[in-house]
Amino acid sequence: MFLALRDLRFARGRFALMGAVVALIAVLGVLLSGLASGLADAGISGLRALPVTHMAFDEKATSEQFSRSTVEEEDWQAWSKAPGVERAEPFGNTLANAQVTQGAKKGERVNLAVFGMAPDSSLAPRPSKGEGLKEGGAGIVITREIADLGVEIGDVLTADRSGVRLKVVGLVGGTVSYGHIGVVYADLDTWRHLHYGLPGDLPEAASRQATAVALTLKPGADVAVVERATGTLAETKEATFDASPGYEAESSTMALIKGFLYVISALVVGAFFTVWTVQRKPEIALMKALGAPTGYILRDALAQVVAVLVGATALGTAVGLALGSAMIGKAPFSLSAPAIATSSGLLIVLGTVGAVVAVRRITAVDPLTALGATR
Amino acid sequence: MTTHATDHQAAADTVGSIGLRLDDVTLTLGDGDTAVTALDHVGLTVAPGEFVAVVGPSGSGKSSLLAVAGGLQRPTSGTVHIAGTELTALSDKERTAARLRHIGFVFQQSNLLASLTVREQLLLPLHIDRRLDTTARARADELIEAVGLTHRAGSRPHQLSGGERQRAGLARALMTSPAVLLVDEPTSALDRVRSAEAVRLIAEQTHERSTATVMVTHDTAIMDAADRVYEMVDGRLS
């Protein structure tokens, strides 16, 4: 880095400009990563929190299965007896509207993503405050998103259409949402009232239904037979994220924007170092004429590339983190260390790839051109 | 031409294998109809401490002589010896190393690196050779003083005058204690008074540090300082 460092200092204006571009891209990278994880949290954190490995949906529902699939009691019973299945439990999922009818925020309207499950199943929430679900009590456990609206334990919400009274009995901390709506946990019958919008007693048929069978499968379990017998299809928990509304579109848009950013950054870095290397040709010829091996000059140039990229990316990431922290709570935004490390790392790696293509020109410079007359 | 080569062969024997020796060197550039003979059976021997000037018009092959003597270009035929090593027998890699250790170049308009101070220009060759230590730093300071640039040691090329740059280039060339010093048109950017000074300094350093020095120039006014003067016409030395 004998020459590289001194060139950096000497041509600091030019390097600062290029570094600023990389730094700004790093800022964008952090913000996009934060937005992507924020959107993912808002979209599927409720699903992610479920202690299952797979979900089995009605095979006739091929997209947005959480809204379209219905399974019957026989299905989860068949699943629980199938080989390789550790646990199979009914899971209900629906979106509902309600109004606070008792509590500090009386009159406030709330949107709910209702997760229904048997109170004694593994899916049932473990509240950090208050109590858990009880069979037949119409008690619900709310999550932070709903609590942030001012709803408290002891409040009563009344659901639209069915008019079911939902008493808040417990609270789960952390981000738990589904389709950008805060999750509430309810027992299966309460869930059915909300799902079908039915007051009073449930019809016989409805009381044996759920949205999906929540499964815990042993590794390598072959479930083809039970799938055929029940007319259901099991998907991994991660694959069910795409079944939640809007999630696939959001995450692929983010991935596309990020992909373009990395390509743009690699091209900017490549273009800069191409011009820089071409400008430096007489100096490179001189160094070779003085007896510098090509490897020495290449190492020097690459060290410079990496120094600039690491410096600019570190600066941009720091600025992005500062901006991002200010955005938490105001936008679907969350800072996840692995996502940010990947984003910044890719920026450095792809930038280096772009620069390597440019810096390779050093190999072709003829030391003879250092002699005046042959220039 | 053959007689010339033989004369120099005899001279080389008296000075041993140190210094610079070109034997029957021919360099043809291009091929077929466009082929040009840049060097035509050139023989030249320069002893340590000897200052040889080669004058000639542009296009006479002066630069080719430096390129071949300095290991930048392989001659079509003939041999080049430097400090007892046959340069023409070395691989490209070994020639690069030989340039670094045994050959000092002073280029036209000195060719300094824009971002380095005068002192750093001198340290660079030793950094390349991984020999940058306190001895090297002391030697850099000593050489900077010898060429009268002590007050300019921390300046970058754009802050120096043409003459100062030339002197910095000379100091850099001497940094590795080379056996051979090759000087290309040292006065092309200098006025008459400064040209004379620059050449006097080269002559002085040649004698003091026992380098075998070859200077090519088209400026016939600066030849007085040289121990021997050759003329180059159409690739032939006389």
Has residue B11 got a pLDDT over 70?
A: no
Q: For B145-199, what is each residue's pLDDT tens digit?
A: 999 999 999 999 999 998 899 999 999 999 999 999 999 988 877 888 888 888 9
User: What's the pLDDT score for residue B8?
Assistant: 45
User: What's the pLDDT score for residue B93?
Assistant: 92
pLDDT band at B52 (very low <50, low <70, confident <90, very high): very high
Has residue A375 got a pLDDT over 50?
A: no
Task: Please judge whether B67 and A2 are an interchain contact, meaning their C-beta atoms are less than 8 angstroms apart.
Answer: no
Question: Which of B63, B183, B188 to mutate against chain A (most A CBs within 10 Å)?
Answer: B63
Residue of B63, B98, B172 with shortest CB distance to A371: B63
| B130 contacts chain A (CB < 8 A) | no
How distant is the alpha carbon of residue A256 from its chain centre?
Answer: 14
Q: Quick check: is B183 in a domain?
A: yes
Residue of B107, B113, B116 with shortest CB distance to A372: B107
Q: Quick check: is B136 in a domain?
A: yes
Q: For A271-310, what is each residue's pLDDT tens digit?
A: 999 999 999 999 999 999 999 999 999 999 999 999 999 9
| B77 contacts chain A (CB < 8 A) | no
**Chain B residues touching A282 at Cβ < 8 A:** 111
Q: What is the CA radius of gyration of chain B?
A: 17
| B29 contacts chain A (CB < 8 A) | no
Any idea what DSSP says for residue A373?
A: G
Question: Which of A9, A290, A374 to mutate against chain B (most B CBs within 10 Å)?
Answer: A290
- Main-chain dihedrals φ then ψ at residue A86, nearest 5 degrees: -80, -45
User: What's the pLDDT score for residue B22?
Assistant: 94
Task: Please judge whether A286 and B107 are an interchain contact, meaning their C-beta atoms are less than 8 angstroms apart.
Answer: yes
Residue B38's closest CA among B76, B93, B80, B90? B76
**pLDDT, chain A, mean:** 91
Residue B163's closest CA among B173, B152, B174? B152
Has residue B80 got a pLDDT over 90?
A: yes
The predicted model scores a pTM of 0.79
Has residue A329 got a pLDDT over 80?
A: no
User: What's the pLDDT score for residue B10?
Assistant: 42
**pLDDT, chain B, mean:** 87
Instruction: Compute the distance between CA of residue A7 and CA of residue B114 in angstroms, rounded to an integer.
Output: 8
Q: What is the CA radius of gyration of chain A?
A: 29
Instruction: Compute the distance between CA of residue B229 and CA of residue B50 in angstroms, rounded to an integer.
Output: 11
Q: Quick check: is B237 in a domain?
A: no
Residue A316's closest CA among A40, A33, A4, A14? A33
Helices A247-279 and A294-327: crossing angle in degrees, nearest 10, is: 140
**Chain A residues touching B108 at Cβ < 8 A:** 371-373
Return the bridge partners of B212, or none. B180
- Flag the least confident range among A251-255, B67-71, B167-171: A251-255
- Flag the least confident range among A33-42, A272-281, A308-317, B38-47: A33-42
Half-sphere exposure for A52 (CA within 13 Å, toward CB) = 29
Q: Measured at the alpha carbon of residue A368, what is the angle toward residues A363 and A370, in degrees to the nearest 5? A: 95
pLDDT band at B16 (very low <50, low <70, confident <90, very high): very low
Q: Which two tokens stand for residue A188?
A: 């299966």
Mean pLDDT, residues A17-40: 91
* Of B3 and A97, more confident: A97
Q: For B94-152, what is each residue's pLDDT tens digit?
A: 999 999 999 999 988 768 999 999 999 999 999 999 988 999 999 999 999 999 999 99
Task: Please judge whether B105 and A370 are an interchain contact, meaning their C-beta atoms are less than 8 angstroms apart.
Answer: yes
CATH code of residue B107: 3.40.50.300
User: Does an H or E element contain A338, and which?
Assistant: helix A337-359
Task: Kindly give, in sequence order, each residue whose CB lies less than 8 Å from that of residue A218, ignoring residues fewer than 6 positions away.
Answer: A84, A85, A86
**Chain A residues touching B66 at Cβ < 8 A:** 371
Instruction: Compute the distance between CA of residue A115 and CA of residue A285 in angstroms, rounded to an integer.
Output: 71
pLDDT band at A248 (very low <50, low <70, confident <90, very high): confident
Q: Quick check: is B43 in a domain?
A: yes
Q: Are B117 and B153 in contact (CB under 8 A)?
A: yes
User: Does an H or E element contain A94, and which?
Assistant: strand A85-102
Adjacency order of strands within the sheet including B20-29: B36-46, B20-29, B77-82, B85-86
User: What's the pLDDT score for residue B9?
Assistant: 45
Task: Please judge whether B72 and A367 are an interchain contact, meaning their C-beta atoms are less than 8 angstroms apart.
Answer: yes
**Chain A residues touching B69 at Cβ < 8 A:** none
| B113 contacts chain A (CB < 8 A) | yes
Mean pLDDT, residues A138-142: 90
* Of B191 and A88, more confident: A88
Instruction: Compute the distance between CA of residue B113 and CA of residue B140 in angstroms, rounded to an integer.
Output: 16
Task: Please judge whether A372 and B184 are an interchain contact, meaning their C-beta atoms are less than 8 angstroms apart.
Answer: yes
User: What's the pLDDT score for residue B90?
Assistant: 93
Q: Quick check: is B70 in a domain?
A: yes
* Of B225 and A78, more confident: A78
User: What's the pLDDT score for residue B110?
Assistant: 61
Q: What share of chain A is helix, strand, coil (3-state, %, to 5)?
A: 55, 20, 25
Q: Quick check: is B119 in a domain?
A: yes
Instruction: Compute the distance between CA of residue B78 and CA of residue B84 in angstroms, rounded to an integer.
Output: 16
**Looking at CA atoms only, how far is residue A48 from chain B in angstroms?**
56
Question: Which of B87, B123, B127 to mutate against chain A (most A CBs within 10 Å)?
Answer: B127
Task: Please judge whether B128 and A283 are an interchain contact, meaning their C-beta atoms are less than 8 angstroms apart.
Answer: no
Q: Quick check: is B98 in a domain?
A: yes
User: What's the pLDDT score for residue A372?
Assistant: 65
Give the count of domains, chain B.
Answer: 1
| Owning domain of residue B161 | 2-231
**Looking at CA atoms only, how far is residue A3 from chain B in angstroms?**
8
Q: What is the ipTM of this complex?
A: 0.89
Half-sphere exposure for A135 (CA within 13 Å, toward CB) = 3
